[in-house]
């Protein structure tokens, strides 16, 4: 038992957010499948297993995602007072560093309406938010498994939720329906020395 804990401690201590990638880097199919295999073991609300992971390797699709994030961040900043807008522009510049990653993993699931169908007109915003939060928290568990699996293979990765401000526009670029919830964008590549 101690050796399992020691191994987990080592993974957790060594894991850090990798923010620099080379477009020429290639994550092998074997490495990808190993990460996905570990992610498949993540716990999920209600024992559901209907979540998926979008695997994006296409350079143009990755650039399109980054362009949409930049556009959405700029639009949001333009709605703020000048000082806040300037701060947000600087802050949100980090939301697109995934653009040079060789691989993006995006865990997602379908937004459920279980509570709305069960409670009908009595479904409060609070209970609907609770249901939504259960899904996003579950997607975070999937994301953590991806990060630990990547570290175990000496791959660099980063958990990014900032890009999700682009909302449903990202779903369109990924070819997903509007009722899908994205959990994060996780760039993956080999660690730079």
User: CATH number, domain at 106?
Assistant: 3.40.109.10
**How does residue 92 score in pLDDT terms, banded at 50, 70 and 90?**
very high
Range of the domain at 148: 2-190
Dig out the tokens for 16 from the structure.
Answer: 């850090």
Average pLDDT, the chain: 89
At residue 91, the pLDDT reads 96
Least confident of 52-56, 73-77, 126-130, 148-152: 126-130
- pLDDT of residue 137 exceeding 90: no
At residue 23, the pLDDT reads 73
Least confident of 4-8, 72-76, 128-132: 128-132
Number of domains in the chain: 1
């Amino acid at each position: 038992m101690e050796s399992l804990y020691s191994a987990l401690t080592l993974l957790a201590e060594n894991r850090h957010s990798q923010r620099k990638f080379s477009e020429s880097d290639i994550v092998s199919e074997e490495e990808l499948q190993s990460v996905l295999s570990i992610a498949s073991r993540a716990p999920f609300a209600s024992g559901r297993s209907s979540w998926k992971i979008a695997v994006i390797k296409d350079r143009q699709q990755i650039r399109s995602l980054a362009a949409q994030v930049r556009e959405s961040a700029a639009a949001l900043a333009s709605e703020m007072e000048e000082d806040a807008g300037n701060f947000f522009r600087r802050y949100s510049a980090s939301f697109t560093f995934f653009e040079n990653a060789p691989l993006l993993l995006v865990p997602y699931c379908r937004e459920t309406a279980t509570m709305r169908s069960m409670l009908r007109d009595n479904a409060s915003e609070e209970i609907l938010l609770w249901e939504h939060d259960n899904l996003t928290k579950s997607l975070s568990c999937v994301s953590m498994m991806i990060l630990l699996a990547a570290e175990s293979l000496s791959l660099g990765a980063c958990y990014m939720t900032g890009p999700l401000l682009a909302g449903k526009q990202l779903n369109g670029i990924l070819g997903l329906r509007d009722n899908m919830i994205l959990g994060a964008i996780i760039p993956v590549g080999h660690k730079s020395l």
